[in-house]
Structure formats: structure tokens, C-alpha cells
Chains A and B, each alone.
Chain A
């Protein structure tokens, strides 16, 4: 019962923050709403009994990526003229297209709803969640792990090179 309550509370925050994010004119406000959406998503992970992913989401997304976004937003002093509301038809078409896509996927979920029962929740969080994820990362997923480390190195070098001022 408490579980369901938490789920609805967190998903309300997540979806509400997401909608608020994409409709804000002020970029800094949008970034703040994205932080709350990400924290709510972290709560959803915790509610799904994946505690490692919960803390990685808080650490990496809310405490890392969003800090990066906020730094860039603060450093670029975007002029207020960019924040004027310009309503044009393409926005309505875009929104409609996205909603059609969403409706399609919703229909797919609806059709297959009989096979979507969750198993009964365990009494306590499996104490081995972190170990299990680490195990999977280093045994089945070792090759993607190494590739991701190279990917992060590449992105780091790329960002450092691009952000340097050419004298």
C-alpha cells in the first residue's frame, strides 16, 4: 500500500517536473525542474528495489550531469530576447506527432497487459544488489564496460579540446 503510494507520488513529481521543464522559457528554471525529475526517477529506481542504480542516478545524473548543465547555463549569459514566447504552428505539429507516438506505445502496452504482472515484492531488499550488478558488469558485460570507459575518455578529450580557446 505504501509502495503504491510512493510510486504515484514519485511519478507525479517526475512527470510534472518533466512537463514543466519542456515548457519553461527560462533555461535555468528548466534545468532545476530537470533535477527534480531526475531525483524522482531515482526514487522510482529505489522503489523498484535497485538501490545501486538509485544512488548512481543521484550521483551521476543529478549531481554530475545536471551540474554540468547548470554550469554551462550560468556561464552563457543568454540574452532575454531569446526567452520571448514565439508560438508557431510547427510546435503544435511536433506535439501532436509526439502524442501519436505515445498513443501507439500505449496501445502496445494495453494489448499485452495480461502478461505484465509483477512478481510479489520480496520482504526486504536483496542485500546483494550492488554485488550482483557489479558481478554482471564484470562478467557478462565486461566488453561493453571497457568500451564505455574508452567512450568516456574520448568524450573527455573531445570536450577539453573543443572548449579550449583558439588563441
Chain B
């Protein structure tokens, strides 16, 4: 019975907390986009932190219509498939050293394999809507999912070479043994994963003139009410999923930065760097407190102080956990670092998408079509050569992977300077 308690807690957390976290991601996306675009978020009516609740309530209160001529079973099943796939892929994510639902030996492969079924959710949704616009948009979104899913897998593969195991827990553990997070060993792989995940999480066309208008994600245009809510929820949980995969594979999972550094405080058994989480949360608390002092609207002031207080409480908690058993402390701190890194990744994705993308969309498209897949493949080959060289000759892995990265970037530069023939003809003709 004991072995089922922790996975049961995990399953409950995943099912209950993920939609709430998806709501947080929604707030983050909208406010961040508003901030980067130099405007406030919906100035007239400002739901602020109530935004996910208002969105969901609005969707839930809509009438449940089903277009005529569609198959009721498929129309019902398509959003369910979408959400099911994303939630299922979460079942193997290790948030702490022992905090996961299951740790199969094929963990990473499981996530990508189940994730490949997401295409079905999109295509069936578009087909079941019985409208040409939905169908075309669904096929486009599905094509994007497939191609950029393959790109993310290529990126992850190069990190997989270093861990020699598909189990997600062992991948994170291998980053402890290798001494560095895998992002420092295979940065090009991380770049490939990043660009691929960018395109997976926006199923709209990034090349569209004005993102965020009505024609985005047209394949769900026939879905109203709760069904649309399921699709949007699946989309936001997908963002969290790619962030969690990136954290586990590239950013060290639940490991604290400099995890191998094990100096302790003199006289105690508390490690020096283990006070970092508490310091981070205290810093956040002080920052929120400072910002809240300047606010004028009463409820926002109270809210700001509340958040600051919560941060201080969290800092005290993280500090207090240091004096409990080793396993529990590892678990709590591991969860903290995992969530922090996943949030940092989501922040990075949103920053890239909203700051860099609107002005340089064509540059990104050219980069992707010309270089992404060849460079990812070359990176795989050079990383494999680097690892084997390091094992055979005894050179440090960091040196060989550095040389491999340099070689890959050299190939990328050459590809950039010598585009394939058709594109050169286009360039000569004037794009």
C-alpha cells in the first residue's frame, strides 16, 4: 500500500493543479504580451488575476452547439483526445527525485510517443467540424505538430546520448553524474528543442500577419463552450509539458545549480548552497513588498502584500525543511528547483515569441526551413563523435562537446552562407 501513496498524491496533483497552472500560464502570456507590446492588458476591464476564471466562466456559460452533419462521437472525442494525451504525458514527469507517477525505462520515449497522438486530436477536431476552413487549418496545424515534433526529438536525442538511458529520472540523475546540465554539453540541441517547442505550442501560423485574431486555431472555430475550453486547456498544458521536458532533459530536472558542490556549514549537516531556495523566495518577497508599497489601488496593494507574505512564508518553509529528514528535504527542494526552471523556460519561450518574433518572423522562418533540421542532425553526429572521443582518449567531455558545438555552428554558418539552390534563386530574384 505504501508504494501507491506517493503516486496517488502525484496523480491528484497533476489532475487538479495542472488546469490551475494552465490558468497561470494564460495570465502570464497575456500580461507579458501586453507588457512587451507596450500596452496594458485589457485596460478597460481589468480582470487581472481573475482572468482565467473569467475566461473559463465565459466558456462554460456558452451554449453547447454541435454543427449539423458532424459525427457526434468524433465531435465529442477530438478535444478529449487532445487533453488526454497531454495529461497522460505528464504521468512520467519526475518533479523530485522520488516524486513521479511512474518511471518506466522508456520514459522520454513514452512522452514523445504519447505526444505524437496529439495530432489525432487536432485533425479529428478539424474534420468533425464539417467546415472547409476548419479542415484546412487542422491539416496545417497537424503538419506543424509533426515537423516540429520531429525537430524537438532531434534536439533531445543529442542530450540522450549523454545519459544512455531513456528513463527521465536517470536522465536527470546523469546530469548530476556528468557534473553539468546537458544544456552546457549540447547547446545546439537545446536550441533545436527550443525552436521546435516554440512552434509546437503555437498551433497558429507564426507567419500570420496579426497573431491573436479570430482566424487563429481555426480548427476549433466550430467548438463552443466547454469543448473549446478543453482544447485551450490542452494547449496551455502543452506549454507546461514542453517546459517540463526541457527542464528534465536539458536543465537538470530537480537538481540545484552546482549540485555537485557539497560544502557544508561548519558544525551542521546543512549544505551551503541549500539555502539558495530560501534566499530566492525571500528576495522575491522583498521585491513584491517593495512594489506593493507604490501601488495606489487598495485591492491591488493588499494583493501585493499578500503575495509578498506568501513568498516569505515559502522562504521560511524552505529553510525549515533543511532540518527535517534528508529525503523530504531533497523532495521539497527538488520540486522547487524543477518548478523554477520550468517557469524560467516558459518565460523564455514567451519572451522569444512576443519580443523577438513579431518583427523577425521571416528571419525565423528562413532559419527553420534552411537550417534547423540539417543542423540538428549534424549536431547529433558531432555530439556522438564527441562522446566517443572523450571515452576513448580520456579528454574531458566538456572539451570534446565544446569542439563538437563549434563544428556544428561552423556547419550552420556554412549553410547560412550557402543556401540551397531554390532559395538562392529566390534571393537573386528579390524576396
Contact = CB atoms under 8 A, between A and B. Distances in A.
Direct contact of A and B (CB under 8 A): yes
Contact of B135 (A35, A66, A74): A74
Interface string A44-74: 0000000110111011001110110011001
A70 B142 CA distance: 11
Interface in B102-155: 104-106, 109-110, 112-114, 116-117, 119-120, 123-124, 126-127, 135, 139, 142, 146
A125 B124 CA distance: 35
Given A51-B104, A62-B117, A71-B139, A32 B109 contact: no
A151 B86 CA distance: 33
Contact of B71 (A29, A127, A129): A29
A63 B135 contact: no
B123 A59 contact: no
Contact of B116 (A29, A54, A58, A70): A58
B123 A71 contact: yes
A59 B106 CA distance: 12
A63 B113 contact: yes
B106 A52 contact: yes
B146 A67 contact: yes
Given A28-B127, A51-B104, A58 B114 contact: yes
Contact of B112 (A51, A59, A70, A130): A59
A135 to B, nearest CB: 13
A70 B71 contact: no
A37 to B, nearest CB: 14
Judged by DSSP, the binding face of A is: helix
B113 A67 contact: no
Contact of A51 (B106, B123, B135): B106
Nearest to A28: B127
A75 interface: yes
Given A67-B142, A130-B166, A59 B124 contact: no
Interface string A63-97: 11011001100110000000000000000000000
Given A32-B74, A51-B104, A71-B123, A58 B139 contact: no
A78 to B, nearest CB: 13
Nearest to A126: B105
Given A51-B105, A129-B105, A63 B139 contact: no
A32 B123 contact: no
Contact of A74 (B109, B114, B127): B127
B109 A55 contact: yes
Contact of B109 (A28, A59, A70, A125): A59
Nearest to B167: A127
B340 to A, nearest CB: 30
A54 B119 CA distance: 19
Contacts of B135: 74
A59 B119 CA distance: 11
A54 to B, nearest CB: 8
Nearest to A127: B105
A129 B166 CA distance: 11
B139 A74 contact: yes
A70 B117 contact: no
B112 to A, nearest CB: 7
3 nearest interchain CB pairs?
A63-B116, A59-B113, A55-B113
21 contacts: A28-B74, A29-B74, A51-B104, A52-B109, A54-B106, A55-B109, A55-B113, A58-B114, A59-B112, A62-B116, A62-B117, A63-B113, A63-B119, A64-B116, A66-B120, A70-B120, A70-B124, A74-B123, A74-B126, A130-B109, A130-B166
Given A28-B127, A67-B119, A130-B105, 12 more contacts: A28-B74, A32-B74, A35-B120, A55-B110, A59-B113, A59-B116, A63-B113, A63-B119, A67-B116, A70-B123, A71-B139, A74-B139
Interface of A: 28-29, 32, 35, 51-52, 54-56, 58-59, 62-64, 66-67, 70-71, 74-75, 125, 127, 129-130
Interface of B: 71, 74, 104-106, 109-110, 112-114, 116-117, 119-120, 123-124, 126-127, 135, 139, 142, 146, 166
